[in-house]
Amino acid sequence: MTDPSALTAEAIAAIGKARTATELERVEVEYLGRKSGRVSKLLEGIGALNPEERAALGKAVNEAKRTIEEALSARRSQLEASRLADLAETEAIDVTFPGPPLERGHIHVLTQVRRQIETILESLGYQVELGPEVETEWFNFEALNITAGHPAREMWDSFYFSPELLLRAHTSPVQIHAMLRIKEPPIYIITPGRCYRRDAPEATRLPYFSQVEGLAVDRGLTFGDLKGTLLYMIQSLYGRERRVRVRPSFFPFTEPSFEFDVSCGICGGMGCKSCRHKGWLEVGGCGMVHPQVLRNGGIDPTQWNGYAWGFGIERMAMLKHDVDDMRLFYESDLRFLEQF
């Protein structure tokens, strides 16, 4: 039978040689394992001994077990302390060392174009006017001379919450809000914001889009003032070589009404695939404010007159950067967005 004292000395020596927690665990299993541990095996055959020998052997085995457990605990503490010391040396963090540069985003291309338009028109004395995206039918239609049952409402197929409440189909309602608030002309405002219409997503239209409209109310304004404003805005945004063309059209809130086009920047107005060989690209609508709209805004049309225009920011961005699909602006594809 192995001497418990000799086995204890052997175990302590093995514990001292262990360099890792894994090695120490193997030593623990070898000596203190419940069934196969060498200390447990010392008790084999204890039943054949007389009472005094059994007591002496049991005491010696318990003492050996306790001594080995204490040695294991001490060695485990030493290894942990050594691991932490090595960690402090190899993985220390210098909090004063500059961190790596962070990749920063940039302003979305639609916001860039919107801000450029705002800056251009603010230089002419226009002020930015904002309004709610959820509107009443009166502000969205009735106040703009689009009465119930009017066929022009088909141009603004809208999202309704109730018979009287809907998502605005254009930013024109902001013009009515502004006239009612300001009350006394002259009024020169632009109304940027998000709009909603029940359109299927396509390359040239979406059910949600951004729009900028302009309104000027003063004495003696003419269509020449309107065209001059549009020409200044277009040339400031696209370049001095661009030209503006107007064509007769119809809008319930302006009379007379026009569509305005911009000469193609790719072919210079000569005609190409981009402009469908027309030399011109459609931008938006404009006209002189209808007298009834002025009345609905609380302004006397016998004393004041005005002009207004409107266009989609996505459309302006497409023309500025030669983008052929409006959906690209909203797909969050960094390969596309990083170009601007």
CATH number at residue 270: 3.30.930.10
Residues 86 and 118 both lie in one domain: no
Same domain (yes/no): 249, 331? yes
**123 and 61 in a common domain:** no
Is 98 among the domain residues? no
Q: What is the DSSP string of 67-105?
A: HHHHHHHHHHHHHHHHHHHHHHHHS---TTSPPPPPP--
> Are 179 and 231 members of one domain?
yes
> Are 131 and 247 within one domain?
yes
Last residue of a domain, one of 90, 119, 149: 90
- Crossing angle for the helix pair 313-321 and 109-122, to the nearest 10 degrees: 100
* Domain span at 31: 4-90
Amino acid found at 99: G
Backbone angles phi, psi at 187, to 5 degrees: -130, 125
Same domain (yes/no): 57, 180: no
User: Are 211 and 243 in the same domain?
Assistant: yes
Q: How many CA atoms lie within 13 A of 319 on its CB side?
A: 26
What pLDDT is stored for residue 232 in this prediction? 93
In this structure, are residues 79 and 64 in contact, taking their beta carbons and an 8 Å threshold? no
CA distance 197 to 192: 16
In a domain, 168, yes or no: yes
Mean pLDDT per 10-residue section of the chain, whose length is 340 residues: 75 84 84 76 68 75 82 86 77 75 86 94 95 94 86 77 92 95 93 92 87 95 94 91 89 92 79 76 91 95 95 89 88 89
Both 173 and 143 in one domain: the answer is yes
Last residue within a domain, chosen from 40, 61, 90 = 90
Predicted structure pTM score: 0.68
Same domain, residue pair 86 and 114: no
Provide the pLDDT for residue 110: 94
Answer whether residue 97 is part of any domain: no
φ, ψ of residue 205 to 5 degrees: the values are -155, 155
The answer to whether residue 95 sits within a structural domain is: no
CB atoms within 10 A of CB 141: 24
pLDDT at 242: 85
161 and 70 together in one domain: no
Structural domain ending residue among the three candidates 90, 118, 137: 90
Instruction: Judge contact between 195 and 208, C-beta under 8 A.
Output: yes
pLDDT of residue 46: 65
Q: Does residue 102 sit within a domain?
A: no
99 in a domain, yes or no?
no
Residues 54 and 129 in one domain: no
Closest CA to 299 of 215, 189, 214, 183: 183
Q: Chain centroid to CA 186: how far?
A: 38
211 and 277 in a single domain? The answer is yes
Whether residue 188 is contained in a domain is answered as yes
Domain count, the chain: 2
Question: Considering the domain boundaries, does residue 226 fall inside one?
Answer: yes
